[in-house]
């Protein structure tokens, strides 16, 4: 990933034209404290008539309770919008002043903001910046810079961010859980914070913004270590095979994804205020696997997935997110890897790993930007099937020949995640990558949980009688009846597994049981309709969905109660 080279002494920056880089003249190597402030101005995206830029200020003088940064453009650049600063412009002169939440700037402290602008002709980087009237020097760097051997290290990332750390409890989810009868038993469990639309960055309908969550994470952290889990989930043409979770961006709106969604998130996560947090991202669930299983010539192909495969915007979006977020030294990127009931077949497993590699090396990303992968996100596949194994033979047939397993190579998420990890390492991912498994809804406890193998009358009675996963078909994914809370979040539970997590907050719907008008861009998928008789993706079985569900992400009390009732391990 590209690093920033710091010019330690510069009175002026040499303008680098439209390359988006401010290059400082360095006559000597003196200490950083010799200059009152440094400014890192980067043009991150430039499409010929417009651009986005990020700016990082480092204060080397006395601590400040407010700040104002000024510069002038040599061309006709116009700032159209900004984030994390109040940005105004008069003629060629631009002023960026702090927001109420980021006015404090300690000695040696840094803060970042970003903006979007338009221009024609050239887009030269400003030559001079002043912070509260004092001229700063300029750090150089940009998205096209080659690696520099003198660059600082990427940060002090630990091998497993969950080791020795608390995990963030989302107060908004916790309050909803605690308000349910019996919900206080799990209301203190850590869950993922879903950034499922651009508005979520600043908070929706008076809810917590990303900064609010990060500030609360610092409070919960205290003097120890803390992980906060974020779900990055807003690709253009999102969820091409599942209408319930369609998003706000159309299939071609990759530039909006980059400049209005990923760039602002990166700017916030890169704020030095949050440098002590371990920030885990789950990157774009249910996206890349669709490009393997739900495209022509597969029987499960959908026109929307064919479009996303053809335009490449899933690959570009994931690569861009990994590249940009991976530049933040305390961010740990985990890429979504589907689940065994989706990708466990021979013709899906290897091609999916290859697709993950393609995305991890797109848009400037490298495999070093990937800390690991996450399986079973927001799904229901059992963690470990104890009553049968893939190598068993019953009545002259392999378990793989059963209707439930259907020639899959894997029977559960643990075996799938461990095998996928090995496959990913074999094609070039770092040998230290770890896996996460979402266990929020895969417990399958309660009265229907088998206590031993099924009858050996046939391979089907053997598997069906012994399997914990009680779904009608492993392709069923929406608000599944009979599901329960799974293993509680924990670090390092098995070889190659960084953690069991509750990335999907229990009680939040997968999708509505019928069409419901909404302003969130979310459609209606028949797989969420309990009367639906299925499609090729679930072998034309009933959907197994609960009735009366709200749109995806909204609180579903009946499901929450069922998850608690069927929890395994049981709730006390």
Contact 84, 114 (CB under 8 A): yes
Beta-bridge mates of residue 435: 373, 497
* 510 given a catalytic annotation: yes
362 vs 402: CA distance, rounded Å: 39
Cβ neighbours of residue 466 closer than 8 Å, sequence gap 6 or more: 385, 387, 388, 450, 452, 453, 454
* Tally of CB atoms within 10 A around 402: 24
Which residues is 229 bridged to in the sheet? Answer: 280
Q: Which residues pair with 68 in a beta bridge?
A: 97
Sheet holding 129-131, edge to edge: 78-83, 110-118, 50-59, 37-46, 134-139, 129-131, 68-72, 93-97, 86-90
Catalytic hit among 327, 392, 510, 529? 510
Nearest Cα neighbor of 52 from 77, 22, 15 is 77
DSSP 332-372: EEEEE---HHHH-SHHHHHHHHHHHHHHHTSTT--GGG--E
From 139, 271, 286, 412, the catalytic residue: 286
Q: Is cis: bond before 569, omega within 30 of 0?
A: yes
Phi and psi (nearest 5°) for 423? -65, -45
| 294 within 8 A of 241, measured Cβ to Cβ | yes
Question: Locate tokens 């919960």: which residue?
Answer: 220
Q: What are phi and psi of 212, to 5 degrees?
A: -60, -45
Angle at 481 between CA 476 and CA 483, to 5 degrees: 90
Q: Which of 513, 386, 402 is nearest to 460 (CA)?
A: 402
Contact 138, 40 (CB under 8 A): yes
Q: Is 255 a catalytic residue?
A: no
Say if residues 67 and 29 touch (Cβ distance below 8 Å).
no
424 closest CA partner among 375, 390, 491: 375
Residues tagged active-site: 286, 510
């Amino acid at each position: 990933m590209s690093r920033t080279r710091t010019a330690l002494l510069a009175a002026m920056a040499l303008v680098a034209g439209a390359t988006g880089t401010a290059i400082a003249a360095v006559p000597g190597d003196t200490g950083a404290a010799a200059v009152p402030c440094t400014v890192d101005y980067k043009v991150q995206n430039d499409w010929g008539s417009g651009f986005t830029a990020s700016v990082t200020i480092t204060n080397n003088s006395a601590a400040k309770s407010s700040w104002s940064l000024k510069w002038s453009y040599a061309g006709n650049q116009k700032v159209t919008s900004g984030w994390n600063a109040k940005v105004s412009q008069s003629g060629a002169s631009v002023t960026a002043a702090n927001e109420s939440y980021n006015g404090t700037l300690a000695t040696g402290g840094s803060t970042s903001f970003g903006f979007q602008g338009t221009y024609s002709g050239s887009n030269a980087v400003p030559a001079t910046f002043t912070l509260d009237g004092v001229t700063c020097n300029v750090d150089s760097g940009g998205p096209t810079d080659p690696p520099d051997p003198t660059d600082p290290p990427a940060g002090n990332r630990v091998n497993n961010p969950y080791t020795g750390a608390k995990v963030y409890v989302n107060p908004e989810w916790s309050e909803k859980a605690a308000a349910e009868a019996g919900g206080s038993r799990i209301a203190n469990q850590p869950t993922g914070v879903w950034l499922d639309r651009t508005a979520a960055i600043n908070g929706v309908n008076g809810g917590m913004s990303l900064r609010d969550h990060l500030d609360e994470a610092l409070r919960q952290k205290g003097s120890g270590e803390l992980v906060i889990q974020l779900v990055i989930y807003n690709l253009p043409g999102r969820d091409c095979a599942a209408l319930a979770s369609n998003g706000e961006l159309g299939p071609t709106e990759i530039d909006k994804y980059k400049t209005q969604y990923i760039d602002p998130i990166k700017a916030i996560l890169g704020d030095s205020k949050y440098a002590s947090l371990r920030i885990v991202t789950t990157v774009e669930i249910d996206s890349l696997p669709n490009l393997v299983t739900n495209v022509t010539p597969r029987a499960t192909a959908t026109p929307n997935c064919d479009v996303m495969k053809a335009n490449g915007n899933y690959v570009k979006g994931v690569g861009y997110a990994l590249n940009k977020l991976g530049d933040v030294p305390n961010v740990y990127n985990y890429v979504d890897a589907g689940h065994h009931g989706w990708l466990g077949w021979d013709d899906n497993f290897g091609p999916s790993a290859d697709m993950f590699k393609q995305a991890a090396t797109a848009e400037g990303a490298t495999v070093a930007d990937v800390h690991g992968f996450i399986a079973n996100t927001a799904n229901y596949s059992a963690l470990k099937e104890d009553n049968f194994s893939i190598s068993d033979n019953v009545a002259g047939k392999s378990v793989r020949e059963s209707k439930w397993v259907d020639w899959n190579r894997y029977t559960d998420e643990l075996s799938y995640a461990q095998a996928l990890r090995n496959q990913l390492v074999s094609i070039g991912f770092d040998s230290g990558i770890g896996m996460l498994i979402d266990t929020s809804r895969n417990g399958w406890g309660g009265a229907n949980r088998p206590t031993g193998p099924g009858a050996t009358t046939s391979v089907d009675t053997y598997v069906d009688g012994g399997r914990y996963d009680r779904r009608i078909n492993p392709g069923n994914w929406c608000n599944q009846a009979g599901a329960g809370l799974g293993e509680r979040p924990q670090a390092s539970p098995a070889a190659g597994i960084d953690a069991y997590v509750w990335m999907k907050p229990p009680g939040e719907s997968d999708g509505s049981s019928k069409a419901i008008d909404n302003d969130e861009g979310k459609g209606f998928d028949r797989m969420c309709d309990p009367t639906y008789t299925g499609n090729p993706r679930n072998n034309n079985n009933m959907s197994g969905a609960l009735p009366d569900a709200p749109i995806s992400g909204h609180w579903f009390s009946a499901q929450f109660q069922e998850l608690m009732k069927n929890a395994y391990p049981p709730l006390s």
